Amino acid sequence: MSRNQKKQEQNIEPAIKQMEFRKKRGEKMNYLMKRELPEEDDFWNNNKYFNQDNIDDDESYQQKENIKEDSFDSDFIDSSDSEESEDDNQSHKSTTKKVDKEKTRVIRSVSKTSYIHDHFNQEYLIREAVQTELRNKVSLQYLIQIEEDKKKIKVERDNVIDGPIIRQLDNQNEKTLQFINFEKGEYPQLFLNTSKKNDKSQKTKYKDPQTGIGFSTIQEFKTIKRQNKIQEKINQLLKQMNG
């Protein structure tokens, strides 16, 4: 035996042990089976289907042959009876035709769609026109506001420079222009936001509100202002060049 089969048997055995032994187990099922068996035998053996007795096929066939329909000669049939029957049939047909016609009329009347013609007054039409005009005005104002909001939003365009560019600026007020060329090297100290302190031990006591740079003496404050002015001039030049 394989290991898997042994494991399955070990799993089955405790389930069998858990079941308690009872003396009356299965008695009710046996009682029901015994009660149903004779009824089933009676049904199939005694031919009690549709309350029919046990009759052989031969006897039933003979009974059918003996039963014959009564036939009458045409001489004994009254002509008046035949005429009355024909009249009855014709009257019945005529009534059925009338009923069918009435049904078709009712169906046609129901199937026809009823159109409701609204006759509006002039006041109603004027009122409706005023309402539509107000709605159109509100929608137009909404669209105009959307377009204005879009115009306010600045479209950021990237100034792409392909290759070297030379720009010359002329001024009528005879003011000199300063061209600054930066080459490889250190950035000039004038354009730095922070100023180097000679005395490292000396702490900043004050703070410039515009730039946020701290200073402790008046000379440092002057140098900060000078640097700010130079930076503003450079920004103006750059705006003119880009404009």
Render pLDDT for 32-85 as a digit per residue (tens, 0 to 9): 888 888 777 777 776 555 555 555 555 555 555 555 555 555 455 555 555 556
Helix (H, G, I), strand (E, B) or coil at 80: helix
Distance of alpha carbon 211 from alpha carbon 229, whole angstroms: 12
At 201 the pLDDT is 47
Is 29 or 192 the better-scoring residue by pLDDT? 29
Find out whether 32 and 25 touch, Cβ atoms under 8 Å: no
The percent of residues above 90 in pLDDT, for the chain, comes to 5
At 112 the pLDDT is 55
Helix (H, G, I), strand (E, B) or coil at 137: helix
- pLDDT at residue 208 tops 70: yes
Distance of alpha carbon 213 from alpha carbon 224, whole angstroms: 8
Q: Which of 6-15, 28-37, 111-120, 195-204 has the highest mean pLDDT?
A: 28-37
H-helix or E-strand spanning residue 214: strand 214-215
pTM of the model: 0.20
pLDDT tens sequence across 105-158: 766 665 555 555 566 788 888 988 999 999 999 999 999 988 888 887 765 555
The whole-angstrom distance between residue 202's C-alpha and the CA centroid of its chain comes to 70
The whole-angstrom distance between residue 230's C-alpha and the CA centroid of its chain comes to 62
Contacts of 223 (CB under 8 A, 6+ apart): 195
